[in-house]
């Protein structure tokens, strides 16, 4: 029997600033691929950061996307409406003994790493260049964790990566139809241990990017995740969480990024490439499409 379910794609921006040319490229690329596959296109608002994401920015983001010619089916899914679901997935992992609370502040982490490096230790960094967490709470007894949780409300829940990988037992892979920054494509073997004990939730936010993205991709029935290649390596973490939580694995397609002239990534704080300011300076959606390398006629 042929599988008649249409492929489902999503664009998942965060309303923590204004969309720039890189988002325009990603949204257009995603929409084009979705049309080629005769799929459904969904929108997700990734607004778990309650201090930086605002309703005004969300409204402006949706308006910029509509102006550009991006259209999606149904109501967008807003992550901040689903904190309870993330908390319950975290509880599942906690019950399985795969997460632990960590208590070191950013300053303490920085000092610990610089002490280790002063002693000549070559402390590893994750694929984004951040040092792995140096704390030792993963080995604490449940009593010690409970005592500290009561005394110290500012804690972070981390995945115990070693325990998680022991639990999964076996290779973790995904199907990549785009490519990573080193040209990795096809069946990609994941290396989640390179990320160490990733953050899954904070005392004030019951989730993190990694945890919510896998739960939402599953909840929205996403079959094809199309996003920038800066998230290629993070897919390793997503695959571990999908396996631990019994979620399906989408196909991934990582695309090139639109970079600044000096080769650095575009940022939401740089006004010159924001869709808003380009629009205010008189540019049309077709101008934006041409600027990011699409023919103006294609959408
Ligand atoms: N919210 C992320 C961003 O704006 C995208 C995450 C994803 O596509 O998985 O960069």
How high is the pLDDT of residue 3? 73
Please report how many Cα atoms fall inside a 13 Å half-sphere around the Cα of residue 263, on the Cβ side: 0
> b/e per residue, 177-191, with b = 16+ CB within 10 A?
ebbbeeebeeebebe
Per-residue pLDDT at 114 exceeds 60:
yes
First and final CA of the chain: distance in angstroms?
33
| CA atoms lying within 13 Å on the CB side of residue 252 | 29
Closest residue by CA, ligand 1 atom 4: 13
136: pLDDT strictly greater than 80:
yes
Mean pLDDT of 64-93: 98
Q: Cα–Cα distance between 236 and 233 in angstroms, integer?
A: 6
Centre of ligand 1 to C-alpha 120, Å, is 36
How many whole angstroms from 210 Cα to the centroid of ligand 1? Answer: 10
CA angle 132–133–136, rounded 5-degree value: 135
Question: Rounded to the nearest whole angstrom, what is the distance from the C-alpha of residue 48 to the centroid of ligand 1?
Answer: 12
Bridge partners (DSSP) listed for residue 199:
158
In this structure, what DSSP letter does residue 137 have? Answer: G
Task: Give the count of alpha carbons within 13 A of 73, CB side only.
Answer: 13
**Cβ–Cβ under 8 Å, residues 25 and 31:** no
Q: Count CB-CB contacts under 10 A for residue 78.
A: 16
Using 50, 70 and 90 to split pLDDT, how confident is the model at 36? Answer: very high
Distance (Å, rounded) from C-alpha 19 to C-alpha 273?
9
HSE toward the beta carbon, residue 3, CA cutoff 13 A: 4
The CATH T-level fold of domain 1-81+269-299 is Rossmann fold (3.40.50)
Cβ of 14 closer than 6 Å to ligand 1, yes or no, is yes
Q: What is the position in ligand 1's atom list of the atom closest to the CA of 46?
A: 1
Residue 256 DSSP label? P
Confidence band of 6 (pLDDT split at 50, 70, 90): very high
Please work out whether the CB of residue 12 comes within 6 Å of at least one atom of ligand 1.
yes
Q: Please identify, by atom number, the ligand 1 atom nearest to the C-alpha of residue 234.
A: 9
For the chain, the domains span 1-81+269-299, 82-220+232-246
Q: Kindly give the distance from the C-alpha atom of residue 200 to the centroid of ligand 1, in angstroms, as a whole number.
A: 16
pLDDT tens digits, one per residue of 64-74: 999 999 999 99
The rounded Å distance from CA 12 to ligand 1 centre is: 5
Per-residue b or e along 18-51, where b marks 16 or more CB atoms closer than 10 Å to that residue's CB = bbbbbbbbbbbbbbebbeeeebbbbbbbbbbeee
Tell which one of 12, 220, 233, 251 to mutate to probe ligand 1, the residue whose CB is within 8 A of the most ligand atoms. Answer: 12
Q: Which CATH fold would you assign to the domain 82-220+232-246?
A: 3.90.800
**Phi-psi category of residue 196: left, alpha or beta, with phi > 0 → left and psi -120 to 50 → alpha:** left
Distance CA 141, CA 138 (A): 9
Ligand 1 neighbourhood includes 48 CB (under 6 angstroms):
no
Ramachandran sector of residue 223 (left: φ over 0; alpha: ψ -120 to 50; beta: rest): alpha
Q: State yes or no: pLDDT of 104 exceeds 70.
A: yes
The protein residue whose alpha carbon is closest to atom 1 in ligand 1 is 13
pLDDT, residue 299, reads 45
Give the containing element (helix H, strand E) for 249: none
Best of 20, 231, 238, 239 to mutate for ligand 1, by most ligand atoms within 8 A of CB?
231
- The mean pLDDT of 167-183, rounded to a whole number, is 95
Of the chain, the percentage scoring pLDDT greater than 90 comes to 88
Interior/surface letters 198-211, b for 16+ CB within 10 angstroms, e for the rest: bbbbeeebbbbbbb
pLDDT class of 236 with cuts at 50, 70, 90: very high
Answer whether residue 253 shows pLDDT above 60: yes
């Amino acid at each position: 029997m042929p599988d008649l379910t249409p492929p489902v794609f999503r664009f998942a921006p965060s309303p923590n600033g204004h969309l720039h040319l890189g988002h325009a490229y990603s949204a257009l690329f995603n929409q084009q691929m979705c049309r080629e596959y005769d799929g459904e296109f969904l929108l997700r608002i990734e607004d778990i950061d309650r201090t930086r994401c605002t309703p005004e920015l969300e409204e402006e983001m949706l308006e910029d996307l509509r102006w550009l010619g991006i259209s999606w089916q149904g109501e967008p899914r807003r992550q901040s409406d689903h904190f309870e679901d993330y908390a319950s997935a975290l509880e599942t992992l906690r019950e399985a003994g795969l997460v632990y609370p960590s208590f070191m502040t950013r300053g303490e982490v920085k000092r610990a790493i610089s002490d280790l490096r002063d002693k000549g230790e070559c402390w590893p960094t994750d694929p984004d260049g951040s040092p792995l967490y140096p704390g030792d709470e993963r080995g604490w007894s449940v009593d010690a964790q409970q005592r500290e949780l009561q005394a110290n409300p500012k804690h972070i829940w981390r995945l115990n990566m070693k325990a998680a990988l022991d639990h999964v037992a076996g290779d973790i892979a995904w199907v990549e139809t785009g490519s990573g920054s080193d040209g990795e494509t096809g069946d990609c073997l994941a290396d989640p241990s390179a990320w160490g004990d990733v953050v899954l939730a904070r005392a004030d936010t019951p989730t993190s990017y990694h945890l919510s993205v896998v739960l939402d991709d599953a909840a929205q029935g996403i079959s094809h995740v199309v996003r920038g290649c800066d998230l290629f390596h993070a897919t390793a973490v997503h695959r571990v969480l999908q396996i631990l939580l019994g979620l399906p694995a989408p196909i991934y397609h990582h695309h090139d990024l639109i970079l600044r002239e000096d080769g650095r990534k575009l940022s939401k704080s740089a006004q010159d490439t924001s869709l808003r300011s380009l629009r205010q300076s008189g540019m049309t959606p077709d101008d934006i499409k041409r600027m990011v390398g699409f023919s103006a006629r294609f959408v």
